Chain A
Amino acid sequence: QQQVKQSPQSLIVQKGGISIINCAYENTAFDYFPWYQQFPGKGPALLIAIRPDVSEKKEGRFTISFNKSAKQFSLHIMDSQPGDSATYFCAASWDTGGGNKLTFGTGTQLKVEL
């Protein structure tokens, strides 16, 4: 099954707080797990990504935690800022033999309040 389940659907966090978005998958053939950030009226843009051979990846205030045995991964946004208000999509990729396909979660609308 090429599905990724994402939660929560929406999230409100106070400025300076930690935002946490969770995703789960079933297909063990997935080999790449990116997170995309999307602002209104724009296309998604790659935020951060991880391969399943590591348990954590950090880039600035953004961290992916990956639990291979539980088939779950999450995005943590530390010191959340109003400028982080956007829709976030987790995704998972698998190799078709002729390249990778990407399947997306349903998205989380994050609002960071002052």
Chain B
Amino acid sequence: NAGVTQTPKFQVLKTGQSMTLQCAQDMNHNSMYWYRQDPGMGLRLIYYSASEGTTDKGEVPNGYNVSRLNKREFSLRLESAAPSQTSVYFCASSDTGRLYNSPLHFGNGTRLTVT
């Protein structure tokens, strides 16, 4: 059982380049999330999708777009990468989005460096 799978694991981009981070879950969860993790700042929510067909902004959405491709997949796109987007990106999923009875399951992250 793979859980939440993120690809790629590592990526180096030059300023201005674009890329898409992929996330897939095999737990039949309804809700999916994208977080970024930076030293001393914890994890901050970028975007989330409460259910297939819906997406909503989190705390730090600027510079990002998302697509909930189907129930399994939720991608994060950087249209024009900036050094400030150097971070570790985590995808997570929850069965119902009611976190007290359906906790978040995280992938192992994508480590992105923008030079």
Q: How far is the CA of A114 from the CA of B45 in the complex (A)?
A: 36
Residues 41-71 of A contacting B (Cβ, < 8 Å): 41-46, 49, 51
Residue contact A100 to B100, C-beta cutoff 8 Å: yes
Residue contact B40 to A99, C-beta cutoff 8 Å: no
Residue contact A93 to B100, C-beta cutoff 8 Å: yes
Is B69 located at the chain interface by the 8 A CB criterion? no
Residue of B nearest to A44 (CB): B106
Residue contact B108 to A43, C-beta cutoff 8 Å: yes
Is B34 located at the chain interface by the 8 A CB criterion? no
Residues of B within 8 A of A107 (CB): 40, 42
Residue of A nearest to B90 (CB): A43
- Distance in angstroms from A104 CB to nearest chain B CB is 4
Residue contact B92 to A9, C-beta cutoff 8 Å: no
Range, interface on chain B = 20 to 34
Residue contact A99 to B98, C-beta cutoff 8 Å: yes
Residue contact B98 to A104, C-beta cutoff 8 Å: no
Residue of A nearest to B33 (CB): A102
Among A42, A46, A103, contact of B104 (Cβ-Cβ < 8 Å): A46
Residue of B nearest to A95 (CB): B98
Q: How far is the CA of A44 from the CA of B42 in the complex (A)?
A: 11
Residues 1-60 of B contacting A (Cβ, < 8 Å): 4, 31, 40-45, 48, 50, 54, 56, 58-59
Residue of A nearest to B3 (CB): A43
Residue contact A46 to B103, C-beta cutoff 8 Å: yes
Residues of A within 8 A of B103 (CB): 34, 46, 49
Residues of A within 8 A of B50 (CB): 98-99
Is A81 located at the chain interface by the 8 A CB criterion? no
